[in-house]
Amino acid sequence: MTAGMGRPQRHVRMLAALTAAASWSVVLVGVAQPAAADTQAKQWHLGAMQTEDMWKVTTGEGIKVAVIDSGVNSSTPSLRGQVLKGVDATGAPGDETDDYDGHGTTMAELIAGTGQGGGLKGLAPGARIIPLRVGLGEFQEKYTKANDDIAHAIRAAADSDARIINMSFGGYGVSPLQHEAIKYAEGKGKLLFAGVGNEGHQQNERGYPAAYPEVIGVASADRDGKVSYYSQHAGTVDVASPGSDVPRWCDDSFRRYCDGDGGTSAATAIASGSAALIWSLHPDWTANQVLNVLFGTAARDWKDGTRSEYLGHGLIRPSMSVLRGKGDPGEPDVSPLTRKRTIASAEQTAPSATASPQPAKNGAEGERPAAAKDSRPSDGGRSGLALGVAAAAAVLGGIAYTVVRRRRAA
């Protein structure tokens, strides 16, 4: 991945800048693995998103999610039996189950963890994980020998049985190899999610791979429905998902979880889990149809078909589809991201009504930014959704997203 002037830049993990402010400092929760009451109780998004009710309908069974990250430790209590054979694209010692800092394992648990042993519980515990290890941060500089290992991993994921590709990382350089791999994966019928980045309070540049038109850029929100102050908003946001105050593995020793901030990394994993739940219920849908429903059922108070600078199509709500059958899947072969026709699998031929027109992603080739005037924050990041508690319970399907705005750290 390269920077704007062609200078090499290391891959940047999309974690909140924990060292930037004391309010985001890491809090250790003990040497031994914490009890479920200590860790799962801090997963506020599980209750907010009505997961217990959704799990009575589906747990994401039958869906495989490719996690391109630092590796996935398949031996944690929460991931035993959940991780399939994957690929190590780094050329470094070890394989795809050797997670060199705990980040990829956290993402996998947030997607498909069972919660056993007091571990993180995933939004789609019936799904399975295909790990693909790439070099990120210091590991890339020290060990990675492959030429654009991320592009290789994306292609491997595209050729796998995974329907969803989770990329909780990013950087500021455009890579033609990566973009070609992403277009290849889209052509294979995959959904690709990536975090938009955690430097919205600083340079707020367009981060890749989230900025590629075929990738779903995910922003981070907190339990009050406020866009996380660090969540980037440079025309790449397609949807927002819970990311603030989500526990994580502290490091590669896998002895404890830490409090802190999951950021757009966690938000991306939770968005992938949301897609897995919907796709599990409708296995004959195409990726386009799953995404149409995710966008169509997102919480927002602006006109359908327009995108907010901070939230994209809104706050993700899989419960609206899983529990209430809401959402129009639309045309199977038209991407709601680019509005272009894509290749639909012959097996994915479910009839559907014509899709409501969706705006092309900001920055897509041949398209102007689609942010409507009434969807732009007008007071330092307010984006509407001024719903009361009662309305939130009824309208948002239990999600405690109330006022959505960009804010500073507490």
Active-site residue, 265 included: yes
Structural domain including 48 reads: 30-395
CATH number at residue 372: 3.40.50.200
What's the confidence (pLDDT) of residue 142? Answer: 86
What's the confidence (pLDDT) of residue 361? Answer: 52
**Do the domain assignments include residue 409?**
no
What's the confidence (pLDDT) of residue 227? Answer: 92
Query: Which is catalytic among the residues 265, 321, 375, 383?
Result: 265
Query: How many CB atoms are located within 10 Å of the residue 77 CB?
Result: 15
**Do the domain assignments include residue 196?**
yes
**Do the domain assignments include residue 2?**
no
**Do the domain assignments include residue 60?**
yes
What's the confidence (pLDDT) of residue 369? Answer: 26
Measured distance CA(338)–CA(334) in Å, rounded: 8
**Do the domain assignments include residue 24?**
no
| Tokens describing residue 205 | 């540049």
What's the confidence (pLDDT) of residue 398? Answer: 39
Q: What is the pLDDT along the chain (410 residues), one digit of tens a residue?
A: 322 222 223 344 443 332 222 221 222 223 334 444 488 989 999 999 999 999 999 999 999 999 999 999 999 999 999 999 999 999 899 999 999 999 999 999 999 999 999 999 999 999 999 999 999 988 988 887 777 999 999 999 999 999 999 999 999 989 999 999 999 999 999 999 999 999 999 989 999 999 999 999 999 999 888 899 999 999 999 999 999 999 999 999 999 999 988 999 999 999 999 999 999 999 999 999 999 999 999 999 888 888 899 999 999 999 999 999 999 999 999 999 999 998 755 344 333 333 333 444 543 333 222 222 222 222 223 232 322 223 333 333 434 333 333 322 22
**Do the domain assignments include residue 280?**
yes
Query: Which is catalytic among the residues 11, 45, 69, 175?
Result: 69
Active-site residue, 53 included: no
**Do the domain assignments include residue 75?**
yes
**Do the domain assignments include residue 119?**
yes
CA angle centred on 219, ends 216 and 225, rounded to 5°: 135
Of 241, 16, 202, 250, the C-alpha closest to 123 is: 241
Domain count, the chain: 1
Query: Which is catalytic among the residues 11, 45, 103, 201?
Result: 103
Write b or e for each residue in 29-51: b if 16 or more Cβ atoms lie within 10 A of its Cβ, otherwise e: beeebbebeebbebbebbebbbb
Collect all residues with Cβ–Cβ distance below 8 Å to 157 and sequence separation of at least 6. Answer: 66, 68, 130, 132, 165, 185, 190
Active-site residue, 95 included: no
| Tokens describing residue 58 | 């589906």
